[in-house]
A and B are shown apart, each in its own frame.
Chain A
Amino acid sequence: MLKYFIEYMNLDQVKSICVAINSMKRKLQSGDFINPMQEFEDVEPMFQEIKEIAVKTKNERLANAQYVFKEYFLLFCELRNYFNKLKIKDYKASWDKLQDCFDIIKFVGKFTNEENRFELPSLYDLLLEYEALYPYKLFCSSEFVIEKATCSICGKSVLGLDCPHIKGELYWGEPCIHKIEKIKYFQGVALVAHPENKRCIMQVVDDDITDDEKFKKLDDFIGLNLPFLQMFSINSKIERKMDVKYKNVGRNDICPCGSGKKFKRCCISKLYYQHIKYSVTPSKKIELFYF
């Protein structure tokens, strides 16, 4: 669908969109994250015009390609948005942006053969590395029974076979979305590692870890100041470290914890603790595709 869209380069709108996406990719590459949505707002009416042309010329494929390319365009806005959040250390908010980027990559991938996805596969790999820097590993997934839901294309119920549309597919440049209107039971929330939506994060409430500590891994990484579009891999190594508190305590000394017992019979097991050391290996830079 991406390739199909740029086959219409003879349309002024397609040409202008390509110029705009190139300039935005350059900004992304150079680390300019100011006004990330500006370009998108500028080109949005052109996408609408292309859709109208497609409808007029009865070209459903172009209408759909226009939608896919619009999402592709949006991805680079959202990437700038995301990296900006990292730059200003707004780590909490950056998580949702990261998930937005993943969603767009998968959406575009759904309509594009693997060999025609340009830089998307490497961006996906890069974002996976970023995702691994966050402390979130468990997510909520809710279970419920749906009693009424309708199709965004035809308005018919999607709980019967009358609506011919398939969820997530495109019809004349519009995606089929299911609108849930009535839920019968809400059966509770499950903890899963692989939810449909990773924005619902599971966190332990009574932990006294501060945000700084939670995002330490990410923060350490950002502190390295690598270019944002640089691929990297993280290796962790478990090291044994001596607790400075016990550094000068002899085996037969009275334990510093105040128990009155000898150190060797008390806290000696705390002399060493495990420390995870991360090392970052930068690898190739991601080449963006220019039209």
Chain B
Amino acid sequence: MEEKIKVINSNTSFSEYFELESISDNTRKKLETVDFVAVPAKYGDNDFCFAQETIEFIKFCRQNDTHHSYDILADADIKVRSLHSFDIWAPIIWIATEILLPIAINVVGDFIKSKLKGREKENANIDITMIVKRKHEEKTIHYSGDAKTFKETFEKIDLNKM
């Protein structure tokens, strides 16, 4: 399996989502106050959805890392896009500041490990997007590839130079 990391400069706006779902101000503020926020993606022409593993992932993070805050960008229940493959469809994670990126990579690595326990011999892909906020810019890092080599792949690259 080949690993793919794609890094692009981005400028993500959630205003369409906020409007459409009448998201409260409290939830909107999460983007500035919470360390890691799972965010939705546009689905079809007129809808927003979260990735399959979103809730599991956030619960996992909250149970395994009490030093940081994890939340979802929603007022109430979310809609989840379900793809019945064994691949891990991890959420899009909004990361408030770039110094938290290594933490995110670690926790995603642990999440993968827990998902693969008992299925060590199977191949599995993970699809995950991290949006990292820097002072005046924003980068979107997308990884789609072998779940088992996720962590090493990121360890090999200099995150500061991304």
Chain A contacts of B47 at CB under 8 A? 145
- When chains A and B are docked, how far (Å) is the Cα of A114 from the Cα of B117? 9
Q: How many A-B residue pairs have CB under 8 A?
A: 82
* Chain B stretch 117-137: residues in CB contact (< 8 A) with chain A: 117-124
Q: Contact partner of A167 among B56, B123, B124, CB < 8 A?
A: B56
B77 touches A157 (CB 8 A): yes
The stretch of A85-93, A188-196, A234-242 that contacts the partner chain = A188-196
Where the two chains meet, the residues of B that have a C-beta atom closer than 8 Å to any C-beta of A are 43-44, 47, 49, 55-56, 58-60, 62-63, 71-72, 74, 76-87, 117-124
- A215 interface residue per 8 A CB criterion: no
Q: List 9 A-B contacts (CB under 8 A).
A: A110-B117, A110-B118, A111-B118, A144-B81, A145-B82, A159-B80, A160-B76, A194-B123, A194-B124
Q: Contact partner of A195 among B58, B62, B76, B84, CB < 8 A?
A: B84
At the interface, is chain A mostly helix, strand, loop or mixed?
Answer: mixed
Chain B contacts of A149 at CB under 8 A? 80
Where the two chains meet, the residues of A that have a C-beta atom closer than 8 Å to any C-beta of B are 105-112, 114, 124, 141-149, 157-161, 164, 166-167, 184-185, 190, 192, 194-197
A109 touches B85 (CB 8 A): no
B85 touches A158 (CB 8 A): no
Chain A contacts of B56 at CB under 8 A? 166-167
- When chains A and B are docked, how far (Å) is the Cα of A147 from the Cα of B43? 14
B59 touches A166 (CB 8 A): yes
Minimum CB–CB distance from A23 to chain B (whole Å) comes to 27
Minimum CB–CB distance from A181 to chain B (whole Å) comes to 12
B119 touches A195 (CB 8 A): no
B121 touches A146 (CB 8 A): no
Chain A contacts of B122 at CB under 8 A? 194
Minimum CB–CB distance from A147 to chain B (whole Å) comes to 6
Q: Contact partner of B81 among A105, A111, A143, A148, CB < 8 A?
A: A143
Q: Contact partner of A107 among B81, B87, B118, B123, CB < 8 A?
A: B118
- When chains A and B are docked, how far (Å) is the Cα of A25 from the Cα of B71? 48
B119 touches A161 (CB 8 A): no
